[in-house]
Amino acid sequence: MQGLSVGEGERQQDGTAAAAAAAPSPPRRPLSDYRPEGELAAACASAAAAEGAGGGARPRLHLVVLGHVDAGKSTLMGRMLFELGLVPDKAVHKTQREAAASGKGSFAWAWMLDERPEERARGVTVDVAVTRFETPGRNVTLLDAPGHRDFVPNMIAGAAQADAALLIVDGSPGSFEAGFEAAAPGSPAGGGQTREHAQLARSLGVEQVAVVVTKLDTCGFSRERFDLIRAQLEPFLRTCGFREAAVQWLPAVGPTGDNLVKPAADPRLAAWWRGPTLAQAIDAFSPTHRLVEKPLRLPVSDVVRGGKAGVTVGGKLEGGALRVGSRVAVMPSGQQAAVKALEVDGKAASLARAGDSADVTLAGIDTTAVGPGSVLCHPDFPVPLVAKFEARVVVLDVAVPILRGQQVTIHAHTARESGHISGLVSLLNGKTGEVQRARPRCLLKGQSAVVEVTPARPLCLECYSDYRALGRVALRDGGRTIAVGVVTGCTPREAPGQ
C-alpha cells in the first residue's frame, strides 16, 4: 500500500483522536503474562520451520533509502529494480519518453519510483514509495524516503518501519558538503539532510547501514574523493550510535547501473573498487528476529476507507502475529474488530508474523476509529494510552536552548502528535548516564537529559524496556529535529471521572 501524505495522515489522525476522546486506557497486564493462543502458536511454529528448512523463502528485510535531496536515491533504486529484472524494457522506454517530453529526461530512472504527478513536476520524492523485490539472499520491502527537509515527517514514518538503511551520498564536487553541513549558529533552518537522516534513523531503531556514494563519475571515479567522504562521515556515524562493524561503504552509479547488481563495468571504477555490489551489501544485512513471542503490535501507516468489505489498514507487525478471524483492539480508540482478510507482500495470506508488512482488512469497526498512528493490539494486552511520558534524549543541533514549556511535534512509530516539553527532569552524563543535575534550567546542543513530554492528545507509547519499537521518540520544532531518545516512563490516561 502506498504511504499517506502528511496532510492525509494529519486529517486521519485528527479523526482517530476524536474517537479516542471518550476511550479510557484499558487495564494494563504485564507483557510477561502473554502466551500465544494454541492455534496461533502452532501456525507460527509451522511457518518458522518452513522458513528455516529453506522452502524457497528468503529472510525478510525492510530497507529504507535515506539521504540529502537530489543525492540520486530514486534514480539509484529505479535502476536497481531494472538490473534485478523487475522492470521490463517496454516500461523503461515508456518512462524515458514521458520524462523527455516533460523536459526531465535525467529523471527517467527516478520516475520508476516517483509516480505521483507532484513528485514528477517538482523533481523530488514527497511520500515514501513502497516497492518489493528479491536479491539472491533477501526478500526486501523497499521504503524510498523523501530527502527534502519539507517532508522529513514522511521520512520518519518510513524509517520507523526499517530494519536497515541505505544512506545515499552525492559524491559530486560540493554536493556531499552541502548535504552534510551542520546548521549555521543561530539559524532556524537545520543543516544538510544527510546529517539529520542518519541521526533520525539510528534513533528510530535502525542499527545497520550501507553508505552508497553516488555520482563519482562527475569526478573521474576518484578514489581520493570516496576516501575523503568516508573519512568525514565515518566519525559522525559513530556519534549517532552506529557500530563500525554495522556500517558498509561502497560506490555506485544510478544512471549507468555500475556496481548495483554486477561489478563495475567502467574501468576507472573497476581499477580500484574490489568491494561488494549494492545487491551484495543488501544481502550482508542481518535479518531481524521475529518477535512472535510478544503480544500483537501493528502501528498503522496507511488506511483505505472501505465500504461493505471493511476497513483495510497497512503497516509492519513489530511483534506478535495475526490470523484471519483474530480479534484485535484498535488503539487509541479502544474499539475491537475482527480480521476479515490478510495480505502479506501484496499476496493473500492466512497468517502474518512479526517482521511482515501486512494489509489487514478489519470488520466491525467504525471507520473513524483507525488512522495513521493507530496501533492494532492483542485485546488482552493493549498498548498503553499515555497522557504524558518521560524520555531519555540527546539534544541535537538546536539553534536556541531547549526550555520547559517548549512546543514540539512528537514522532513515535507511525504516530505524529503536537505537544510540549512539560519538564526538564535531569541532566545526564552522556557516557555513564549518571544524573549530573536535577531540574536544569535549559538544555544545550549535545547534552543528554531526561525530559517530561505532554502530548496534546493521548498517544500510544510503550516504555523502551517493554517494547522497543514503540518506545522510541523524536522531538521536532520549527522544521528541524531537536532531540531524539527512548521512553523511560509512561503516565497512562485516566478514565473519565478519576
User: Over its length of 498 residues, how does the chain's per-residue pLDDT go in tens digits?
Assistant: 444 344 444 444 555 554 444 455 555 788 888 988 888 889 888 888 877 665 556 788 988 888 876 677 778 888 888 888 877 677 776 776 776 676 655 566 666 665 544 444 444 444 556 788 888 888 888 887 654 454 566 677 777 778 999 999 998 888 888 888 765 555 545 557 788 888 888 888 889 999 999 999 889 999 999 999 999 999 999 988 899 999 999 999 888 889 999 998 899 999 999 999 999 999 999 988 889 999 999 999 888 776 677 899 988 999 999 999 999 999 999 999 999 999 988 889 999 999 888 999 999 888 888 888 999 999 999 999 999 999 999 998 888 999 999 999 999 998 999 999 999 999 998 778 899 999 999 999 889 999 999 999 999 999 999 999 899 999 999 878 889 889 999 998 764 433
CATH 2.40.30.10 in the chain is located at: 6-23+290-377, 385-492
Output the pLDDT for position 5.
40
- For the record, the C-alpha cell of 272 comes out as 580500484
pLDDT on residue 125: 43
Quote the pLDDT of residue 116: 46
Q: Phi-psi bin for 333: left (phi > 0), alpha (psi -120 to 50), beta?
A: alpha
Q: How far apart are CA 448 and CA 483, in angstroms?
A: 9
Q: Is 101 helix (H, G, I), strand (E, B) or coil?
A: helix
| 423-428 own/partner pairs: CB under 8 Å, 24+ apart | 423/451, 423/452, 424/449, 424/451, 424/452, 425/390, 425/449, 425/450, 425/451, 425/452, 426/450, 428/392
Confidence (pLDDT) at 153: 64
Query: What is the spatial distance between Cα 25 and Cα 383, in angstroms, rounded to a whole number?
Result: 9
**Residue 186 Rama label (left phi>0; alpha psi -120 to 50; beta):** left
pLDDT at 66: 86
- Residue type present at position 164: A
Please report how many Cα atoms fall inside a 13 Å half-sphere around the Cα of residue 317, on the Cβ side.
31
Given its phi and psi angles, is residue 256 left (phi above 0), alpha (psi -120 to 50 degrees) or beta? alpha
Tell me which residue has cell 558498509. 248
Q: How many residues does the chain have?
A: 498
Radius of gyration of the chain, Cα coordinates, nearest whole angstrom = 23
Task: Quote the cell numbers at residue 479.
Answer: 522544521
Q: Give the type of residue at 283.
A: D
The CB density around residue 439, as the number of other CB atoms within 10 Å, is 10
Q: Which of 187, 212, 207, 192 is nearest to 152 (CA)?
A: 192
Q: Where are the beta strands (DSSP E) in 34-108?
A: 60-67
Q: 6-23+290-377: what CATH class?
A: mainly beta
Give the CATH class of 60-284: alpha beta
Give the whole-angstrom CA distance, residue 207 versus residue 27: 34
Report the SS3 class of residue 321: strand
CA-to-CA dists, residue 324 to 141, 339, 352, 367, angstroms? 23, 5, 9, 19
Q: Single out the residue of 302, 241, 320, 297 nearest to residue 471, CA to CA.
A: 297
Say which CATH class 385-492 falls into.
mainly beta
| Orientation of helix 152-159 relative to helix 193-203, angle to 10° | 40
Gap between the Cα atoms of 65 and 240, Å rounded: 17
Q: How far apart are CA 249 and CA 148, in angstroms?
A: 23
CA-based end-to-end distance of the chain: 41
Is residue 211 within 8 A of residue 257, CB to CB? The reply is: no
CA of residue 119 relative to chain centroid, distance: 20
Residue whose C-alpha is closest to residue 384's, from 329, 478, 287, 460: 460
Q: pTM here? A: 0.79
Residue that has been written with the C-alpha cell 529484472 in this structure: 85
Distance CA 115, CA 465 (A): 40
Q: Where are the alpha helices (DSSP H) in 344-442?
A: none
Q: How far apart are CA 258 and CA 270, in angstroms?
A: 9
Start-end ranges of CATH 3.40.50.300 in the chain? 60-284
The bridge status of strand 164-170 relative to strand 60-67 is parallel
Nine-digit cell string for 51:
522458513
